[in-house]
Amino acid sequence: MTAALPDVDRAAFVEFLTRMGDNTLILGHRVSEWCGHAPVLEEDIALANTALDLIGQTQFWLGLAAEVEGAGRNADALAYLRDAGAFRNVLLVERPNGDFGHTILRQFLFDAWHLPMLRALERSADPRVAEIAAKAVKEVAYHLERSGDLVIRLGDGTAESHARMQAALDDLWDYTGELFMADASDAAMVAAGIAPDPASLQAVWLAEVRAVLEEATLTLPASTYSHKGGKRGVHSEYLGFILADMQFLQRAYPGAVW
């Protein structure tokens, strides 16, 4: 296996893998906050299942990040023992859940990026990246199908649900641009054939988003501004609260196991 691995800057590769894993970890945690609180039982179960898929994918991404890093850490150490500044998720996934429609819209905006990203990673020059992507893409296809359907149902629903979905879209829109911004680590991944240029995914993302929002009778915001920082560890205040919750057990009882 080692013979086939591409020549790549290790720090940039770890950065990329950490970004993938932190996106799924933080979104998975956010979605799991709904467990027991969703508006109907079927949606509670669907949210929990989605969170489970994302946390499972996190184990693969952060597991590989730890392996490539080669510093004796594992996926659990990366998830539970890093502080906020070391997290590399985009700001979108740490946004608060808001109401159910807000959570679903955040999920849709993420899924519409996640699916084409994974499809591109299936062709990664690194077989370990390709096999994680090939596994995750099947699950994420179901995530996008569901979040897209619900955006349409709620957007093109009652006056109340429509207004809430439009408000959620207006609130979240300025956090989507970060998904497509590239830095030196991304450029190193492109050069090594490991991952696509983030900007190359924007057209297909926008096409999916436009189609669904149109059917949902929602208005695409005109803003082209984007908040950024998460990819390089500069986070909103929300991440600290997420970590305080998520990491409590390992911080209070170091090394605790089931």
Partner 1 sequence: MRPATDQIWRWLAEVPDPEIPVISITDLGIVRAVEWEGDVLVVRVTPTYSGCPATSIINFDIETALRARGIEHLRIERRLSPPWTSDWLTPEAREKLRAYGIAPPVPGTAADGRLMARAERLVGGNLAIACPRCGSTHTERLSQFGSTPCKAAYRCRDCLEPFDYFKCI
Q: Which residues bind partner 1 (CB under 8 A)?
A: 42-43, 45-46, 49-57, 59-60, 127, 130-132, 134-136, 138-139, 141-142, 144-146, 148-149
Using the minimum distance from each CB to partner 1, give the nearer residue, 105 or 144.
Answer: 144
Q: Shortest gap between Cβ of 230 and partner 1 (angstroms)?
A: 23
Asked whether the beta carbons of 90 and 175 are under 8 A apart, the reply is yes
For residue 247, give the DSSP letter: T
Q: Are the CB atoms for 27 and 110 separated by under 8 Å?
A: yes
Minimum separation from the CB atom of position 128 to partner 1 (A): 8
Provide the token pair at 65.
């990040």
Residue 44 burial by CB count (10 A; 0-12/13-18/19+): exposed, middle or buried?
A: middle
Least distance to partner 1 from the beta carbon of 135, Å? 4
How far apart (Å, rounded) are the C-alpha atoms in residues 185 and 53?
26
Quick one: 12 or 246, whose CB is closer to partner 1?
A: 246
Burial of 83 (0-12, 13-18, 19+ CB in 10 A): exposed
Contact, 174 vs 103, CB < 8 A? no
Q: How many CB atoms within 10 Å of residue 227?
A: 15
- Our CB check for partner 1 shows the closer of 75 and 84 to be 75
| Measured CA distances, 20 to 9, 131, 132 (Å) | 17, 14, 11
Question: Please, are residues 110 and 94 in contact by the beta-carbon 8 Å criterion?
Answer: no
Amino acid at 25: L
Q: How far is the CB of 44 from partner 1 (least distance, A)?
A: 10
Nearer to partner 1, 53 or 186 (CB): 53
Q: Which is nearer to partner 1, 143 or 164 (CB)?
A: 143
Least separation in angstroms between CB 52 and partner 1: 4
8 A C-beta contact, residue 24 and residue 35: no
CB of residue 138 vs partner 1: minimum separation in angstroms? 5
The residue among 99 and 149 lying less far from partner 1, judged by its C-beta, is 149
